[in-house]
Amino acid sequence: RQLTLMTCSPHTGFIELATMNDTISGDAIIEPSKSSDFKMFLLFLLLIGFQLITIQWKNRSPKTYNTVTLVGLWTIPLIISITNGFTRFVFIWMSYFVGTCIVLKPALRKPIDPMTPSVYHHLYTVTYAIGSFAYVIFLIEFFGFPGLLSTQIGMSVFELSILLLFYSLYFGLLGRDTINEVSGRMARVIGFYNEDGIPTRHLRDHICAICGGDLSEGAKDDEGQPLIHSLSCNHKFHDSCIRGWCIVGKKDMCPYCREKVDLKTLVKENPWETQQLWYLNLLDALRYTLVWQPVVFFIFHYALK
């Protein structure tokens, strides 16, 4: 029997070994496959069940859901990076954290600097621009034009595009959710916004209800006229303020009268602007992947130990 196994081909030799009851039984061959299928099925159930739970949680108590998700968004990727020794991500995260504290500091003061809402919108625009740039690089590499680009930083252009795309999406999402938490507080401090009822201050025609500044001040167009956006309710705001309120701060209503706002009316008819809605949807989808899926995998890993 041993001589037969030594002289046969590798394929037939494997068959001979599989039929030897004293070496490998039929149950031992089938069992790993069954175990693997069961684990995959259990993981699938966990992913679906956890997603249903988070959806119900978000619908029943959006404030607690958003707060817990924001804490997870700040901490879970950092913990994973520290555990696996991803020093570059840890360094960039710490730099972003310090920068965020500096930027958010004016929002916690009274009175609030009128330029604060526009600064938040500009920061969001930077992450969006980096993500768009990374996506263009990715497409160039993907469709076979590697000779057009080169890098001298020890990684391929493709790897660089993926890295920039991830960082722009993660920090764009992190900044957007963080600003969402403080934007309502800023508006309440100014006095033109109240989540529970009537605002404490009367809005005059020449005042922006978001920053409290004069509409004649702020960014200007090419003709020197102030960039002002008027909603369907006829309330007027600085263009960057209302964009920061609705697009970055995720508020879909007028900050003064609470009338619904269509985000499409804030997006200009050009490719740069129209892609923002797609970018925002991508950020929302990424939130579950970065926060709740690692929790599911953690539960799955230790449940099978």
The Cβ-side half-sphere exposure at 126, using a 13 Å CA radius, reads 9
**Placement of tokens 């992450």 in the chain:** 127
Domain range annotation of the chain: 2-26+66-303
> 88-123: per-residue pLDDT in tens?
999 999 999 998 888 777 766 766 666 676 777 777
Return d(Cα 119, Cα 125) in angstroms, integer.
10
Q: What is the dihedral of CA 77, 78, 81, 84, to 10 degrees?
A: -110
Please give the Cα distance from 221 to 234 (Å, whole number).
Answer: 21
The half-sphere exposure of 102 on its side-chain side, counting CA atoms within 13 A, is: 7
Which residues, 6 or more positions from 168, have their beta carbon under 8 angstroms from its beta carbon? 127, 128, 130, 131, 134
pLDDT at 198: 63
Q: Which run of H or of E encompasses 292?
A: helix 271-303
Output the pLDDT for position 87. Answer: 92
d(C-alpha 129, C-alpha 56), whole Å = 34
pLDDT at 18: 42
pLDDT of residue 114: 63
DSSP letter at 205?
T
Residue 94's pLDDT is what? 94
Stretches in the chain below the pLDDT threshold 70:
1-35, 107-108, 110-115, 117, 144-155, 184, 187-201, 218-222, 224, 250, 264-274, 276, 305
Handedness of CA 285, 78, 99, 104 (dihedral sign): positive
For residue 190, count other CB atoms closer than 10 A to its CB: 24
